[in-house]
Amino acid sequence: MKTWKKFAHVNAGTVDEAASILKAGKAAIIAGGTDILGTMRFEILPDYPEILVNIKTISDLDYIKEESGMLRIGALTRLEDIAKSDVVSAKYTALAEAAHRTASPHIREMGTIGGNICQLTRCWYFRNPDNRFNCLRKGGRTCYAMAGDNRYHSIFGAVKKCLAVNPSDTAPALVALNARIKTNKRLINAEQFWDVAVPGSTILDMDEIVTEIQVPTPTKGMKSSFIKFAIRKSIDFPIVNCAAMVGKKDARICLNAVHNKPYRALKSEELIKGKSINEKNADAAGAAAVEKARALPGDRNKWKIQIARTMVKRAILACA
């Protein structure tokens, strides 16, 4: 019989209060709860939080506003509100589309933008109940996906021998839109937010909390888009997704769910920059995006390479 573990639940009044509790250790943040509650329920980690710090009780972290040439979104803003925002849809289209394609309507009504970019990987070995696979990500010695079922894992190799991928839908949109992530300590370029050294994790300190997303207003002529491939279109995490922002003089293209962090398709950007957006050019950019991609032994995830190429092509064409 399972022994249920007790934990404390603290309503934080300020960001500083929440940070001080986190700094003391054995604590975790809860906001929408769509990730942390499942993590705790199924006991996927070797260590169980003794305190959940509720940050929904902190005022002024739920907003969408545009000022001084920048879109500012509070970390507690729900994904559904971002998806339905007229301002976000009109000028920051990739982000609105990414928020709209995240999970189900019920999850979007609960899940926050801050939680979506900080969520843990969905690797099925990592997520297996009762910490059945104490993998590298948890301090173990083995990435079970190396010799196991890796059909949805990285096509750009392992990081520290881990093949888990980043599962966020909003992450590639933020990278493509050249966003910054504000915390209680610093301002971080979105592209640097996910740490290469620790697969799938963020660079946040133990007592660091995301407070705001900042997205510069795209220059005239720049258009953005978001494309997603999932097994069940209405709810699933991405098999591959892609966000692009393309104009006459510049381009930013980002794939996700293909590596441990959002993957900038730099060669694709160079190929499409300053060129007409048409079938031929978009196809060439898609091919360039996966030049360095390699299927894992046994070719079980080889199909993801073609999907990634197609996602880049379609994201570019959607910016026409």
Q: Where are the domains of the chain?
A: 64-117+166-317
Q: What pLDDT was estimated at residue 200?
A: 63
Task: Write down the pLDDT at residue 2.
Answer: 66
pLDDT single digits (tens) 73-112: 999 999 999 999 999 999 999 999 999 999 999 999 999 9
Exposure of 276 by Cβ count < 10 A (0-12 exposed, 13-18 middle, 19+ buried)?
exposed
* Predicted pLDDT of residue 97: 98
- pLDDT at residue number 195: 82
Closest CA to 79 of 106, 53, 52: 106
Give the pLDDT of residue 232: 84
Architecture per CATH, 64-117+166-317 = 2-Layer Sandwich (3.30)
Cα–Cα distances (Å) from 299 to 155, 206, 231, 294, 304, in that order, read: 10, 38, 19, 9, 10
Q: Name the stretches of the chain with pLDDT < 50.
A: none
Q: How far apart are CA 176 and CA 191, in angstroms?
A: 9
Give DSSP secondary structure letters for 136-200. Answer: GGGT-S--TTTTS--TTS-SS--BTTB------SHHHHHHHTT-EEEESS-EEEGGGSB-SSSTT
CA distance 302 to 53: 41
Q: 137 and 197 in contact (C-beta within 8 Å)?
A: no
Inter-helix orientation angle 303-317/279-289, to 10°: 140
| pLDDT for the residue numbered 5 | 80
pTM, rounded to two decimals: 0.97
